[in-house]
Structure 1
Amino acid sequence: MLVSAFAQAQNVTVGAKHFTEGYILSEIMAQLLEANGFTVDRKYNLGGTMVCYKALERGEIDVYPEYTGTLSFEILAAAKNLSVNDINAQLKTQKLAIAQPYGFSNTYALVVPDKWSREKGVRNISDLQSHPEAKIGLSYEFLKRQDGWENLAKAYTLLQTPVGLEHGLAYSALVENKIEVTDAYSTDGEIVKHHLVVLNDDQKFFPDYLATSFFREDLDPKAQKVLEALTETITPSEMQAMNAAVLFEKKNFQQVAAGFLKDKKLVNDAAAENTSIVPDLLVKTGVHLRLTFISLLLAMLVAIPLGIVLYWNPVPARYVLYAVGLLQTIPSIALLAIFIPLTGIGEVPAVAALFLYALLPMVRNTYTGLQGIDPVLKKVAVGMGMNKTQRMKMLELPLAMPFILSGIRTAAVISVGTATLAAFIGAGGLGEYIVTGLALNNTSLILRGAIPAAVLAIAIEMLFEVIEQIAKPKYLK
């Protein structure tokens, strides 16, 4: 143990990007902190670099693993690869800092199948100049990074037009001969497994990416001291072996991290393994339902009164419905990203996005249901001396209720599916299984999240069928 019981009651939030090595390194940090008395909250699957960085800057996480090359070019926008001291000097104004590196560099690289490399005589990145027909698939982040494809293509005069792929799926595309070149991390376990060739960076374009702990300066000094124990403890081959253990030996991040800490004698005992997935599945299902029903309730409180107002004032109805419908055209992940600068990561932006998606079916069905009531009935109600409020309460709302409930039902099913994307911004839920499974190209993990989400959607459909039957006026049954 590095720190005694003085650390008790201290809370540290550890973040992680959604790729294999990020999970492992974050879990190593988390278990090391827990072994030294800290309480750790885990916020994994935090999208790309800028999502993690902004979460750290806002204090939504306290520490996550990062790389010196990424810090130099992406976060600090430097013209060259900076040393640890130079990075810390520039980060000081933001009250952020990095520790000394873990001991390995995970640089970017381009990889190709060994057979294709031998057939085409491609061993260096510059050799791709002679093969403009080469099919290239690259991770979305690499396509847009300063140290990514755009500047790499300029440096090497490469004319190919790459397609974007999720990093974990690119290896499958290589194996299935759908692409011939992809970007990789030099410590990826798939490189050896799939007999891939790492192309020589003959112009030295890629900088060193030394892995390290990236943290807030106000992180408890005791926690900083604990994390310093990771300095120069991981070799490139050890990191590649840990990645491969998760990908191909079917070990989870917790097992691999615990084994590493025990082997390095950084903890007395490896973390206890919980072999049952049921408790974790129940927790994630509970979070998923909470996100869905909070957003649904908020949408009902806004959409149904708005539909009534539009019914009473039909002139602006078309424009309001167009505006609400426009929200449905924004891709879910983009809408979530839009909220991050405003609300940060976590459940708040997830609920906000789901709320907006739920508005259209509720507003439209409320308005359409009220508009579709037989005019004769409305005239009879007026002739009986009912005012606007009485007509709405006693006649129009009861008759429109089947339409309104149908709108709520549609919104609920949409929300259950869309809520899986909330995992990308640290909101949790069943999407965590899906996002992690995509990163690992692990179908069983994807299904662990997808099947319960589908079951929830079916259960909600059945629940609303019952509610609609109960709420339907007797004379309509």
Structure 2
Amino acid sequence: MKRAYPLLVAALSAWCLLLSAWAQAEPLRVGSKRFTESYILAEIVAQTARAAGTTAEVRQGLGNTAIVYEALKSGQIDVYAEYTGTIAQEIVKDPAHTSLQDLNRALAPLGLAVGVPLGFNDGYALAMRRDMAGKLGIRSLSDLARHPTLRYGLSNEFVGRADGWKGLAQRYGLQAQPQGLDHGLAYEAIAQQHIDVMDIYTTDAKIDHLGLLVLEDDRQYFPRYDAVLLYRQDLPQKHPAAWAALQPLAGRISEAGMIHMNAQAELQGQGFAAIAQQFLAGGAKGAAPVADKAGSRSGFAAQLWQRLVADDLWRLTGQHLLLVLISVGAAALIAVPAGIALFPHTRLRALALGAAGVMQTIPSLALLAVLIAALGMIGRIPALVALTAYSILPILSNTCAGLAEVSPGLRHAGSALGMTHPQRMRWVELPIAMPTVIAGIRTACAIAIGTATIAAFIGAGGLGERIVTGLALNDSALMLAGALPAAVLALLSELFFELWERYLRRQRMRR
């Protein structure tokens, strides 16, 4: 017994050392929202940490504030760039908290903290075309109330925010019914004169590029949105070297510098990582003129081809295929046995098909948001659960439909030969129903390939990453570079199932 104690102490010590080594090896996970500036700031944070010897991974384009905040709170990411006004309004839900000290006191019970003010304010504002504003005599938000017929195209997040459209409309007496638009697409819409007024971030690069006038907030509705790092309280202890390296970022990014970096991405088409690397090397200190990327490209087709064959093609395609195969496989393992069990029970079968049909009607982004809150995580797990749920209905309904095609005479014949119910199902009913079941799996694959692109909104990877980034940059070529490979996967899936069905038909003819 005495010899056991030293062995136990040694084992516990070794286990503690292993845990410590694992904790030190755990990467710093940096998140971002789904707009240009957030992508760039995430790369700056990650590259700064890597320069200090810390392994860092970036989870880009996770969505709006609610999704990224949930990822931070649940430990899926460790830090991301946020804005003081957003923290006060959307997270702490107390506009009176304006200082870092106040915000840290309010965030402490959540296990979060805020620090490293980056040096610039990126506020919300409304803007319209300068020529139209001059024609109508509009210079401030108060002037908008005199023109109720103006068309508003506002980002969906701004429409729903506590510091967004609802409060703004009340403060200024605006009666318009805004149209919800993706922030990147709204710039194209206002340039094409499909809308008259849009919400902007004051560091957006396209404000001057498109000749927009930022309307004066003459009643001081919008708070300040100073850029800071929102992080988990244990970050300084888990990654001390990275945390020390991040401190010199305080005050380093000016508003002009941020506008310049946004322009490098949106107008020149430079990559986020390259922009961050240039900034950390000492560039992007001012707002030097940035050429429009349209002037330097040799044509849309050439740009599209460059995007299509980029280095990330096979990685993203592999991630996309993995999401589809796992989700459809899981749905088949659930739906086919369920269809067999429910087929004899008419009421239960109708109830199950109705429930699966209701699940199919839930918008994919809404379902993903619910799953993030329920599971407390982002990434592939909630994406796989959602894709599996969407794949169940076609497989379940086709399994029941295929079994209904088996004639009563064949069932009676099987029973007359002395077959048990499982034997009759195995040798008579399922072979007849199999083509219809395969058609259901075929439909589920087509649905999953298309829906899996949405998974990129919560950091699950796949070809949707290109689409999400393209939306943020309003880059049509990049969006197509994500959509076209997904379409090719859908066509290959159809070809595979067509060949499989032909093979099964030949097998039945031989028998």
Gaps of 5+ in 1: 1-6, 267-273
The one-letter code matched in structure 1 to 2:166 is: E
Q: Specify whether residues 88 and 310 from structure 1 end up closer, same or farther in structure 2 by C-alpha distance, changes over 3 A only.
A: same
Q: Which amino acid aligns with 2:312?
A: D
CA distance in 2, matches of 1:333, 1:45: 14
> 1:61 maps to what in 2?
77
Q: Is the contact made by 2:53 and 2:242 (CA closer than 8 Å) also made in structure 1? A: no
CA-to-partner distance for each residue in 1:148-207, whole Å, 9 max, x for gaps?
010011111111111100000111111111111000000000101101000000011111
CA shift at 1:80, angstroms? 2.6
| Distance in 1 between residues matched to 2:336 and 2:114, nearest whole Å | 50
| SS of residue matched to 2:312 | helix
Q: 1:270 maps to what in 2?
A: none
Is the CA contact (8 Å cut-off) linking 1:15 and 1:52 kept in structure 2? yes
- Please report the TM-score for the alignment, with normalisation by the length of structure 2: 0.88
Q: Aligned equivalents of 2:205 and 2:122: distance in 1? A: 12
Question: Using the alignment, how far apart are the partners of 1:265 and 1:473 within structure 2?
Answer: 66
What is residue 336 of structure 2 aligned with on the other side? 304
Q: Is 1:281 aligned with 2:313?
A: yes
- Give 1:451 shift: 0.7
2:276 matched residue in structure 1: 257
Q: Indicate yes or no: 2:403 matched with 1:403.
A: no
Is 1:240 matched up with 2:259?
yes
Which residue in 2 is equivalent to 1:271?
none
- Residue 290 of structure 2 corresponds to none
* Backbone CA RMSD of aligned residues: 1.8
Q: Deviation at 1:276?
A: 10
Corresponding residue number in structure 1 for 2:466: 433
For the 8 Å contact 1:373–1:396, the answer to whether it is kept is yes
Following the alignment from structure 1 to structure 2, what is the Cα–Cα distance between the partners of residues 277 and 473? 39
Query: 1:373 aligned to 2:406?
Result: yes
Q: 1:32 aligns with which of 27, 33, 48?
A: 48
The 2-side partners of 1:350 and 1:393 are apart by 33
Q: Is the aligned partner of 1:333 residue 2:365?
A: yes
CA distance in 1, matches of 2:308, 2:253: 30
How far did 1:469 drift? 2.1
Count how many residue pairs are aligned between Structure 1 and Structure 2: 464
Amino acid at match of 2:357: G
Q: CA deviation at 1:265?
A: 11
- Taking structure 1 as reference, are residues 275 and 429 closer, same or farther at Cα in structure 2, changes over 3 Å only? closer
The C-alpha deviation readout for 1:408-450, integer Å capped at 9, x for no partner, is 0110111010000001111111101001101111011101110
Q: How far apart, CA to CA, are the structure 2 residues paired with 1:177 and 1:265?
A: 32
How far the C-alpha of 1:9 sits from its partner, in A, is 3.6
The corresponding residue for 2:327 is: 295
C-alpha spacing 1:66/1:369, structure 2 compared with 1 (3 Å): same
Structure 1 pair 475/282, CA: closer, same or farther in 2 (3 Å)?
Answer: closer
Secondary structure of the residue that 2:249 maps to in structure 1? Answer: coil
- Matched AA of 1:376: G
TM-score, structure 1 as length reference = 0.94
Residue of structure 2 in register with 1:342 after alignment? 374
Q: How does 1:433-472 map to 2 (within 5 A)?
A: 433-472=466-505
Letter matched to residue 181 of structure 2: L
> Are 2:183 and 1:167 equivalent residues in the alignment?
yes
- Cross-structure match for 1:313: 345
Partner of 1:119: 135
Describe the shift of the 1:10–1:30 C-alpha distance in structure 2 as closer, same or farther (beyond 3 A): same
Distance 1:169 1:29 in 2: 27
Paired with 2:95 and 2:240, the residues of 1 have a C-alpha distance of 32
**Residue from 344, 350, 356 that aligns with 2:389:** 356
* 1:225 is aligned to 2:258: no
> What letter corresponds to residue 151 of structure 1 in structure 2?
G
1:183 is paired with a residue whose SS is strand
Distance (whole Å) between structure 1 residues aligned to residue 395 and residue 139 of structure 2: 58
Q: Distance in 2 between matches of 1:32 and 1:341?
A: 31
Superposed CA offset, 1:244-273 (max 9, x none): 11011111111111110101699xxxxxxx
1:205 counterpart SS class: coil
SS of equivalent to 1:206: coil
